[in-house]
Structure 1
């Protein structure tokens, strides 16, 4: 009996998705849910991942946890964008909404302890003394409020905030590079500005990859100095998934297939050949778009390798 030989062994990255798919839809769904939770920093970026934890996915809902109420409001504004990123990363409709849990495992927290950890603000704030000029300035800023009770409440809140800022400056806090709010030592920007800055850098990298899909880190760094290898990898992965949704395995000659090859292989246009495109599409075959009528294709039928001679 003649032996059947395989021309090239398939990598584990291709065998594993097929094996998971054969284990059933329930196991496959659980795998992709856990995969999203594990790669949460790659999906949303380090600015969000350091402050917001992905807890679990249940009934098409991604449950998040954060210890800062301001991040709840920020995530609420970005809900549509985050849902789109998660579904693009999973290459399927995995979630439809976001919700916040009351507690989390707190695996993702700031690596450095805050500078004010262990400080008793209730005892420390009354000991902070402001000058008469500073108190008069605070009173003048509250003078426009006509209601006496509201003006008195606003004066107490503003006075307490001024003392809090004075105490934090003594603990090493400094002003944000983009706004006047105070941020912790070791950080250049506050949480809100860091998130906006991260999104701006991601957008700039994405636009650069659209113009030059083959660009490597050195080229991107020259145009966008604040780009990091991790951020470039995350943006490139998302861009590749966008291209995969428009490419069919049966049409390697299209511009979309060649653009996908340049973005995935980091190859300039002069190095793109039909053979390179076909091998790239075969490598990504399980993630490409599929027509309504689709059947699995054998390797030798597509690449012409391992076919028996007549």
Structure 2
């Protein structure tokens, strides 16, 4: 008889949920990975296409953890045993929301009731049985069969509710949206990256000016601009205080055009972002 540690990974792989299982396992064991101090202020909510979304209780901790991003990514991947997390996105102010899972209990029970009403056809039942029959232990076989049936029923429920294939991938998504959740996140991240790139080249642009080139919403512009400002400020505080970084930070923060930047404006901006003593104001 095969041992459980050999059977379960193979079964999970056959179900096509190995990556999801591994990332969910990391989310469940978050305090073990990062320690109780960080876990008290930040909690992962999901992992979407290699991007871990972490809810943080305030902007101070959000900035602090962003400086530790590479270290956290390495710890998570070391715990999982493979490189499944490539990036982290922090969301300040959402921590409390994800600490109370009872809020989703009603929706969870409603979905379970709907799944019980789904009837699998002979082909689907055969597929589920084939997955379960890889083990000889009756108890484990029943558990695997239940998981497989639920997985297939959930896919069928989506089709019954007129879910369609995502415009970017084969995942199913509701009829009122064009992209699945993962692709929607990818698209938003790409747009944010495009906005950041344009702002890094022309940091004085207002929302109205940038929106002529990139179709975006005000909050997308603000998020991209804020993240770019924090990145540039961090580089300055880490010693990369070249004139380009300093001028970029000033224009991002104040909206001043290049010809409007002066030493007084630079000093006020640096003080606002908590410059270190060795940072000097450049000569213009």
TM-score, with normalisation over the residues of structure 2? 0.52
- Correspondence for 2:155: 165
Partner of 1:64: 43
1:155–1:177: structure 2 CA closer, same or farther, 3 Å change rule?
Answer: farther
Show the 5 A alignment for 1:105-184: 105-106=99-100, 117-118=110-111, 120-126=113-119, 135=123, 149=133, 164-184=154-174
Q: What is residue 279 of structure 1 aligned with on the other side?
A: 265
Q: Which residue is 2:225 aligned to?
A: 236
Deviations 1:24-58, CA, capped at 9 Å, x for gaps = xxxxxxxxxxxxxxxxxxxxxxxxxxxx9x99x95
Equivalent positions of 1:1-310 (< 5 A) are 58-61=36-39, 62-64=41-43, 66=45, 71-72=46-47, 74=48, 77-78=50-51, 89-90=63-64, 97=72, 104-106=98-100, 117-118=110-111, 120-126=113-119, 135=123, 149=133, 164-225=154-215, 227-247=216-236, 254-270=243-259, 272-274=260-262, 277-279=263-265, 281-291=267-277
Per-residue deviation at 1:187? 3.6
Question: In the comparison of the two structures, how many residue pairs are matched?
Answer: 212
Whole-angstrom CA distance in 2 between matches of 1:80 and 1:181: 20
Change (3 A) 1:65 1:157: closer
Deviations 1:174-225 (A, max 9, x none): 3222112112354432222222222212211111111111122223323222
CA distance in 2, matches of 1:183, 1:206: 29
TM-score by length of 1: 0.49
- Structure 2's unaligned 5+ residue stretches are 1-26, 77-94, 135-140
- Does the C-alpha gap of structure 1 residues 148 and 109 become closer, same or farther in structure 2, counting only changes over 3 Å? closer
- State the partner residue of 2:16: none
Post-superposition offset of 1:243: 2.5
Q: Matches of 1:148 and 1:119 in 2, distance apart?
A: 21
Higher helix share: 2
Q: CA offsets per residue over residues 210-263 of structure 1, 9 Å max, x none? A: 1111122223323222x2211211121121122224558xxx993433222221
Partner of 2:83: none
Q: C-alpha distance in 2, partners of 1:204/1:162?
A: 38
> Partner of 1:8 in structure 2?
none
Change (3 A) 1:210 1:236: same
Alignment RMSD: 5.2
For structure 1, the residue ranges without an aligned partner over 5 or more in a row are 1-51, 295-310
